[in-house]
């Protein structure tokens, strides 16, 4: 049924234009698949946080939190994991650095710098 919509020619006639159309369509599909799979081998591997068993009991209700250990900001394992996450993010987003800079410059360019004086106190409020 779908083929009838794609092919402008009757079923009996096979024209060169319809063949070109299908070859072009297949080419686009295969090119898209090739582009999507091109970077798979060199993509960085994201860090995986280890799971440690931790159970909280609040109001007689037990909750399991396997990532509770990430709350300890002084733990060297937490710091190492967060540094690995930051390195992974930087590597994955590396191709967008120019765009990020362009967007940042545009945002800064739209900020009106009208703070020409220090705040003035009137009654209990600063203006």
The pLDDT tens digits for 20-77 are: 656 565 566 656 555 555 555 578 899 998 998 989 899 999 999 999 999 999 999 9
The pLDDT tens digits for 70-99 are: 999 999 999 999 999 999 999 999 999 999
* Integer Cα distance of 69 and 72 in angstroms: 6
**pLDDT at residue 3 above 60?**
no
Which helix (H) or strand (E) segment holds residue 61: the answer is strand 61-64
* Integer Cα distance of 55 and 108 in angstroms: 46
Specify the pLDDT at position 105.
Answer: 93
Specify the pLDDT at position 29.
Answer: 67
Which of 3-17, 42-56, 107-121 has the weakest average pLDDT? 3-17
pTM equals 0.52
Q: Chain centroid to CA 54: how far?
A: 30
The domain limits of the chain are 1-35, 44-105
């Amino acid at each position: 049924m779908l083929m009838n919509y794609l092919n402008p020619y009757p079923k009996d006639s096979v024209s060169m234009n319809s063949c070109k159309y299908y070859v072009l369509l297949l080419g686009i599909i295969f090119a898209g698949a090739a582009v999507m799979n091109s970077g798979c081998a060199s993509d960085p591997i994201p860090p995986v946080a280890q799971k440690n068993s931790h159970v909280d009991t609040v109001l007689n209700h037990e909750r399991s939190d396997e990532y509770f250990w990430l709350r300890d900001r002084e733990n060297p394992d937490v710091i190492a994991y967060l540094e690995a996450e930051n390195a992974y993010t930087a590597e994955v987003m590396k191709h967008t650095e120019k765009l990020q800079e362009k967007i940042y410059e545009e945002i800064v360019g739209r900020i009106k710098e009208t703070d020409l004086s220090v705040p003035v106190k009137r009654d209990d409020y600063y203006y």
